[in-house]
Structure 1
Amino acid sequence: MTQSVVVQVGQCGNQVGCRFWDLALREHAHVNKRGVYDEALSSFFRNMDSRSDGGSCSVGGKIQHLKARAVLVDMEEGVVNEILQGPLREVFDSTQLLTDVSGSGNNWAVGHMTYGSAYREQIVDKLRKAAEHCDCLQCFFLIHSMGGGTGSGLGTRVLSLLEEEFPEVCRIVTSIYPSAEDDVITSPYNSILAMKELTEHADCVLPVENQSLVDIVDKIKRMSHVGRTSSVIKTDSTVISGQGGLSGAEKPFDAMNNIVANLLLNITSSARFEGSLNMDLNEIAMNLVPFPRLHYLVPSLTPLYTLADVSVPTRRLDQMFSDAFSKDHQLIRADPKRSLYLACALMVRGDVQVSDLRRNIERLKPSLPFVSWNQEGWKTGLCSVPPVGHSHSLLALANNTCVKPTFTELRERFTKLYRKKAHLHHYLNVEGMEQSFFSEAVSSLSSLIEEYDHLDATKGRLMPDAPRLSIAR
């Protein structure tokens, strides 16, 4: 069995990561009734009970013998301390935590340069120790935000260290992008500087926009107030299920973090549980990234809630597949059907048959514009264990040119600030930071946008059917 390590950087990264661990434990407890430390648990948890030797260990209740395969980094100690005082305090090994007190002041350069240099050896040491506890390390999952200083700056520094230390291990990054009304004035600088690092050092990036999360949560709240039987949202639904792992009252962003945590639950499901069509995590990059820089995969989750009415399962199942290609279920604001697909993965969980999967792909294919040279660019995975409270769920990961407007808008917001040289001195006063970093970063992003432009230009100019290569039998 392979293992993966989750690296959580910054306030947002640690809050989302904490939610992931809480929900993962609930899933394993739901399936593993006897609390036996098995291969499924070993994928993301270590067993610290030397007496059990692979035998009994408690899941969900007393979890003192399970330790998450995680590294937690934040240059403000608030969130990590909150986690350590909450219900998940026993899940994290104290030697795998790294905090400071002053924070990065919403400055990418402080996170990347100052803290990246000061804590380099400690970070590498913690990553190595996490890797040493794995029999077969398959993947690093990095969770961070783009708008702040620690998440964007130190997060991308950690990413480059992962490539340096473990070049053969897959690096999948979940990046939370700020909205246009973000309260961090320097977030366009931080995001653009981080984008260059993501493009150069990640194998796959799953971009998630704050505004999309806000829209989804608002939509679900509206549905819950409708009151019709067919639209009643259960209390154990994906979004409405407590803040998980943190103490205190639920905060407005807990529901948003929950959605991102469920994205991670779905993408890791076939690594954690068995299924009739398991998808290896390495296969995601192998099948969905035809060009190394174009590795931004648009995530779409469905269902995002559990309805009280679960009748007409076939219609509901087919609707789930349709929803996965609707802009309302995407975690970034974009319309994939108006753009070009390079490849697409469908990761299905629950009581779904391969025939259901094939039927729906054939049904949807005519409405989805794929590049001419990859008309069969589908990757599918089937995991038999659904999320708790659901009968089935689906995560679609689309390598689609619809990410381009998000990047273009980001560049425009950067340019508005940069033209006025606003707040620039805060960055240039940091040792090791030069103005050329900004021009290189925006040049890297412009080049990325151009690559998507070139692909979009081929849309509608599909090549005529070429003679197929005949295989000797």
Structure 2
Amino acid sequence: MTQSVVVQVGQCGNQVGCRFWDLALREHAHVNKRGLYDEALGSFFRNVDPRKSDGGACYVGGRIQHLKARAVLIDMEEGVVHGILQGPLREVFDSTQLLTDVSGSGNNWAVGNLTYGSAYRDSIVNKLRKAAEHCDCLQCFFLIHSMGGGTGSGLGTRVLSLLEEEFPDVCRIVTAMYPSAEDDVITSPYNSVLAMRELTEHADCVLPVENQSLVDIVNKISLMSHDAKPGCVLKKESTVTSGQGGVSPTERPFDAMNNIVANLLLNITSSSRFDGSLNMDLNEIAMNLVPFPRLHYLVPSLTPLYTLADVNIPTRRLDQMFSDAFSKEHQLIRADPKHSLYLACALMVRGNVQVSDLRRNIERLRPLLPFVSWNQEGWKTGLCSVPPVGHTHSLLALANNTCVKPTFMELRDRFTKLYKKKTAWIRVHSLRRCPLSVH
């Protein structure tokens, strides 16, 4: 049995991570009716009650008992972590695996990476080692952080380099939240560009998720929930934007956005947590989708994002799910992969789907998708038998595709524009202090 450790850094990383643990527990409770500690639970949770090491009850009806998440929570502001410890998941986190400060990184990559990274280096390493020691067979580290803030980008990438230094043979998969153009953090282009260099150097795989794309998806689902045709309403406990199982007007926008990313993590880890006829090992993602070490940015798309209450699951809807995975409306960054070049692609399917359905859809889509000439067969497939709660099936597609280029170029342009303003400001003020004499 293999295990993985989730490292959550910064406000965004901890909020997304909290949603992942909540939804993961709901999935296990839905499948494991008796609440027994088994291999599925052991992949991301450990049993801290020695009396129940033989498979005793660990949770009943969603109530957590004797389970601890294989997680390390880091933030240089204590607000979010403190809120988690006051919430319903407080029992699932080991208090010794938390690291907080009070002042924050001031939206400054250098403060997070250099100042706090140096000050807390030994403490972070000790917590990572302790998390690893609780694993019988450590398979992967998942790092969740944002790119726009100081702690997420700066300290998050410092933690990534420490993971490579301390555990060079363990796969490092990063979920990075990219800021939108209207981001309220002025320095987000600086932080993102500086963080990207570290992601390129030290990660095995990066799953870029763009805030604006999440906003667009949430708005689209919200519009459908209010303006759907009679009889075509969103099915309860099916939409991935809601932790309560339905589109709730009381939820804040970023809660729905965080749930989408949490569902991305649920799908990518499903093969580690549940049985399947064609399970995909986490190490196989990097092995099969990354032909060159630095080209490891995998564009994620998730489908379905909702289920209509009045429709069964005929073959045409199953086929539509595969088509949706390659449409720009379902990408978690603003991109159209069909108009860009594929290096490789993984399809991770969950639920009541046959291998024949998977192969048929690959053959149907293959002529429509431009693959590089030297990797025309660059498909990787996974099939997990347990669907997400509320769905009969779901699909996560991970595409190593050149469509990430416009997103990265836009960040570079924003960086350049901000840097030019800064150099112009310095030039003007230096002239004011030291006026040139005219002869």
> Would you say same fold, with TM above 0.5?
yes
Deviation at 1:423, TM superposition (A): 11
Pair 1:335 & 2:336 matched: yes
Name 1:315's counterpart in structure 2.
Answer: 316
Worse-superposed segment, 16-25 or 60-69: 60-69
1:43-122 maps to which residues of 2 (within 5 A)? 43-59=43-59, 61-122=62-123
Q: What corresponds to 1:402 in structure 2?
A: 403
Contact 2:241 2:257 (C-alpha < 8 Å) held by counterparts: no
Give the distance between the partners of 1:243 and 1:156, measured in 2 at CA.
32
Counterpart residue number, 1:123: 124
C-alpha separation between the residues in 2 aligned to 1:23 and 1:371? 37
Q: Is the 8 A contact 1:337 1:368 kept in 2?
A: yes
Distance 1:105 1:291 in 2: 35
Q: Contact between 2:23 and 2:243, CA under 8 Å: does it hold in 1?
A: no
**Which letter does structure 2 place at the counterpart of 1:14?**
N
8 Å contact kept, 2:26–2:62: no
Give the RMSD, CA atoms, in angstroms. 1.5
Aligned to 1:31: 31
Alpha-carbon distance in 2 for matches of 1:187, 1:423: 19
Cα offsets for 1:111-150 (capped at 9, x unmatched): 0000000000000000000000000000000000000000
Give 1:424 shift.
10
Deviation at 1:46, TM superposition (A): 0.2
Say whether the 8 Å CA contact 1:143–1:173 is kept in structure 2. yes
For 2:208 and 2:313, locate their aligned partners in 1 and report how far apart those are by CA, in whole Å.
Answer: 34
Q: Secondary structure at the match of 1:346?
A: strand
Structure 1 Cα separation of the partners of residues 146 and 340 of structure 2: 26
Pick which of 201-210 and 416-425 moved more.
416-425
* Counterparts of 2:172 and 2:87, CA distance in 1: 29
In structure 2, relative to structure 1, the CA distance for the partners of 1:424 and 1:10 (3 Å cut) is: farther
Map of 1:21 onto structure 2: 21
**1:422 offset after TM fit, Å?**
6.3
Q: How does 1:53-452 map to 2 (within 5 A)?
A: 53-59=53-59, 61-229=62-230, 231-242=232-243, 250-421=251-422
Residue 237 of structure 1 and its aligned partner are, at CA, apart by: 2.4
CA distance in 2, matches of 1:35, 1:274: 17
| Aligned-partner Cα distance in 2 for 1:68–1:423 | 49
Matches of 1:387 and 1:423 in 2, distance apart? 53
> Could you tell me how far 1:55 is from its partner in structure 2?
1.7
Cα distance change, pair 423–269 in 1 and its aligned pair in 2 (3 A) = farther
CA contact (8 A) 1:22 1:88 kept: yes
Residues 1:87 and 1:369: Cα distance change in structure 2 (over 3 Å): same
1:389-416 CA deviation, whole Å, 9 max, x = no partner?
A: 0000000000000000000000000000
Partner of 2:431: none
Q: Distance in 2 between matches of 1:44 and 1:307?
A: 32
Give CA-to-partner distance per residue, 1:403-437, whole Å, 9 cap, x none: 00000000000000111226999xxxxxxxxxxxx
Between the aligned partners of 1:152 and 1:395, the Cα distance in structure 2 is 26
Post-superposition Cα deviations, 1:8-31, rounded to whole Å, max 9, x if no partner, equal 000000000000000000000000
The one-character-per-residue Cα deviations of 1:221-260 (angstroms, maximum 9, x if unpaired) are 011112324531123123343479xxxx632200000000
Amino acid at match of 1:251: R
Spell out, residue by residue over 1:430-472, the C-alpha distance to the aligned partner (whole angstroms, 9 max, x if none). xxxxxxxxxxxxxxxxxxxxxxxxxxxxxxxxxxxxxxxxxxx
**Distance in 2 between residues matched to 1:230 and 1:186, nearest whole Å:** 47
Tell me which residue corresponds to 2:432.
Answer: none
Alpha-carbon distance change, 312 to 385 in structure 1, aligned in 2, over 3 angstroms:
closer
CA distance, structure 1, for counterparts of residue 291 and residue 112 of structure 2? 32
Deviation of 1:281 after TM superposition, in Å, equals: 0.1
Distance in 2 between the 1:252 and 1:289 partners? 34
TM-score, normalised to structure 2, is 0.94
**Does the CA-based 8 Å contact 1:76-1:100 persist in structure 2?**
yes
User: Which residue identity lines up with residue 407 of structure 1 in the other structure?
Assistant: F
Aligned match of 1:429: none
Give yes or no for contact 1:238–1:258 (8 Å, CA) kept in 2. Answer: no
* Residues 341, 371 of structure 2: 8 Å contact kept: yes
Contact 1:9 1:142 in 2 (8 A): yes
* CA shift for structure 1 position 56: 1.8
Query: The residue matched to 1:6 in structure 2 has which SS?
Result: strand
CA deviation profile, 1:276-314 (whole Å, cap 9, x unmatched): 000000000000000111000000000011221232421
Aligned length: 421
**Which runs of 5 or more residues in structure 1 are unaligned?**
426-473
Instruction: Give the SS at the match of 2:148.
Output: coil
Residues 235 and 241 in structure 1, CA contact (< 8 A), matched pair in contact too = no
